[in-house]
Structure 1
Amino acid sequence: TDEALHFVLKVYNKFWRESYVPEQWRMATIIPITKPGKDPSNPSNYRPIALSSVLCKTLERIVNERLTDYLEMKKIISNVQCGGRKNKSTTDHLVTLEYKIRENFAHNEHLISVLFDVEKAYDQTWKYGILKDLHAMGMRGLLPKLVAKFLEDRKFRVKINNTMSEPFTQEMGIPQGSVLSVSLFAIKINQIATLIPNNNRFHASLFVDDFQISYR
C-alpha cells in the first residue's frame, strides 16, 4: 500500500541521514552449490550463493545509483571496464576484440591475447582500501559513510539442507551477492586498468574481475 511504501521511504531516509545499516541487514546466509563437473569432496569446488535482506538490497540499489552517477560524472572508472555500467556489456568487448583479430589477420600480423580470471576476487578485496579510494576520488559526505557502515562487521551463516551454522565474521573482502559489491570492486580494480598503455598496439578489456589484454 501507499502507506507501507511511505513508511519504508521514511526508514531509508533515516538510515541515509544517520549513515546506518542494521546489524541484521549485514548478515548473509550462504548456500554452497557444487560447481558443474567438480569434485564435491573439495570445498574449493563450491560456489557460495549469498542470501540477504530484500529491504537491504533495495537500499543498496538506491546507494549504488548515487555511487555510479558520481563515478560516471567524474569519469573515474576506466573505459576498459564494462561491468556494472549502464549501456555497456561484454558484447562491447567481444566486438572490439573480434575487430582487432580480423584487422591483424588482414594485415598478416600476429595478435597475442592473455585472459585473466581473478580467483576469489570479492573475498580478497581490501575493503578498507575501497574507502581510501573513495576519499582519494574526492567523495565526501553521507555516501562514503554509508558505504563504510555497509562494509563494517559483516557476518554470515552457512546453510546446508536444513542445518544452519553459527555466525562467522567476514574479516576481509566484500560481500558476495551484494548489489553494491560490483561497483565497489570496480573501484578497487580500476588502478590496474589505468596502468595499461594507451596506444594502438595494446588493447585491454575488463568486465568486473575478468580481464583481457592483447598486443600486436
Structure 2
Amino acid sequence: MNPPDPDMVGFDKAHLAHTEDLASEIPDITSPLAQFLVLQDNITLDDIEVLKAHLLSHSPHSALGLDQVSKAKILDTDNIILLDFNECVHRHGSPHYWLLTLIIGAPKHGKTAEDVKNYCAIALESCLLKALTFIIHTKFCKALNSTSIIPPSQNGFWKNCHTNNNAFVLWTLIDKAASKGKTLDIAFVDISNAFPSTSHSSLWLKLEAYGLTGQYFDWIQMLYSQMTYIIAHNGIVSQKFSSLSQIHQMPHSLEALLLTLSMQMTSP
C-alpha cells in the first residue's frame, strides 16, 4: 500500500516528482465542465433505484464494514433518506466509519494457516461507502460513453465486455497473419500488483486532463486522501495508517474504472 521504490522499479524519478508537483496544484474543489453535465448532476431517486436493483441482482450477503450496515439495511432504507448521499458529496466529507477500513487475513482454501504467505488480505469497507461509489461509478460511465477515452479494445471492467474477447482478437490476428505469410509481433505485458501500485498523482492528472472533474472527482480525491486502515489478527489490532498508493479493489465498480483510466495512454 506504499509506492514502489522508484530506483528498484526503474521509474523516471524526475518525471515522477514533476507529476506529484502538478497533482498537488489541483484544487480541492474543481470547476465544473459543461461537456460532462452528468458529473455535475445531483444524485437522484432514479440513481437510488438503479443502486437497489444492482444490490438485488447480487448476493444479499456481504461482509460488513465497521459501521455494521448491511446490504439488506440499505435495501430497507427509504430512498429519500439515501438522497443524503448528496450531502456527503457537496460537503466533500463522509461519516467517520466510512474512512476506516478493517483489513483481516483469511487462510487460502486448502492452505495451512501457519505460513503467512497462505493468507489473503480482505478489506472490510462500509456497505454505504460501496453504495455511493457505485452511484458515482455509473455517472462516470455515462460521461465516458459519450467519449472515446475508453478504446474499443478495452474489454476488462467495462459493461458488456469480457476479457476473453482479447483471446478471440489475438487468435484472429494470428490466423490472419498466418494466412498472408506475415510475421505478427506480439508483446505480452504482465502488470504486477496493478491495483496496489497505482500512482494517485498520475491518476488525478489523467482524470483532470480528460475533463472528468467536478463534485464527484473532488469527493473521490477526498476519499483517497483521508481513508485510513487498521489490521486485525488473532485479537491484535494495529494502529491506524494511510495508503500512499493503490486503488481500492472492488471489481466492476468505480475502483476498477479508475484503474482502467489510469492505464490509458491516449491523449484526451
State the TM-score, normalized to the length of structure 2: 0.62
Matched residues, percent identical? 23
Aligned position for 2:99: 26
How many residues are paired up? Answer: 192
C-alpha distance in 2 between matches for 1:161 and 1:28: 17
* Match among 234, 254, 268 for residue 180 of structure 1: 254
The one-letter amino acid paired with 2:79 is H
The one-letter amino acid paired with 1:136 is A
The one-letter amino acid paired with 1:54 is C
* Match among 94, 97, 102 for residue 175 of structure 2: 102
The one-letter amino acid paired with 1:29 is L
The one-letter amino acid paired with 1:5 is D
Aligned position for 1:67: 140
The one-letter amino acid paired with 2:239 is E
Aligned position for 2:43: none
Aligned position for 1:115: 188
1:130 partner SS: helix
Gaps of 5+ in 2: 1-72
C-alpha distance in 2 between matches for 1:82 and 1:47: 26
RMSD over aligned Cα atoms:
2.9
1:83 partner SS: coil
Question: CA distance change for structure 1 residues 49 and 112 in 2, over 3 Å: closer, same or farther?
Answer: farther
The one-letter amino acid paired with 1:183 is L
Q: CA deviation at 1:185?
A: 1.1
Q: CA deviation at 1:15?
A: 1.4
C-alpha distance in 1 between matches for 2:183 and 2:106: 41
Cα deviations across residues 43-100 of structure 1 (Å, max 9, x unaligned)?
Answer: 5x75432221111111110000011211221221233222221111112212111111
Aligned position for 2:238: 165
C-alpha distance in 1 between matches for 2:81 and 2:156: 30
Is the 1:154–1:169 Cα contact (8 Å) retained in structure 2?
yes
C-alpha distance in 1 between matches for 2:106 and 2:185: 35
Is the 1:50–1:177 Cα contact (8 Å) retained in structure 2?
no
Cα deviations across residues 8-50 of structure 1 (Å, max 9, x unaligned)?
Answer: 423212112223233321222223356679997465x754322
2:186 partner SS: strand
Cα deviations across residues 135-178 of structure 1 (Å, max 9, x unaligned)?
Answer: 21123321211111121122112233444333221122222337
C-alpha distance in 1 between matches for 2:244 and 2:81: 31
The one-letter amino acid paired with 2:196 is D
Matches within 5 A, 1:24-173: 24-33=97-106, 41=115, 46-173=119-246
Question: CA distance change for structure 1 residues 106 and 184 in 2, over 3 Å: closer, same or farther?
Answer: same
C-alpha distance in 1 between matches for 2:76 and 2:170: 51
C-alpha distance in 2 between matches for 1:48 and 1:17: 33
Gaps of 5+ in 1: 196-216
C-alpha distance in 1 between matches for 2:106 and 2:186: 32
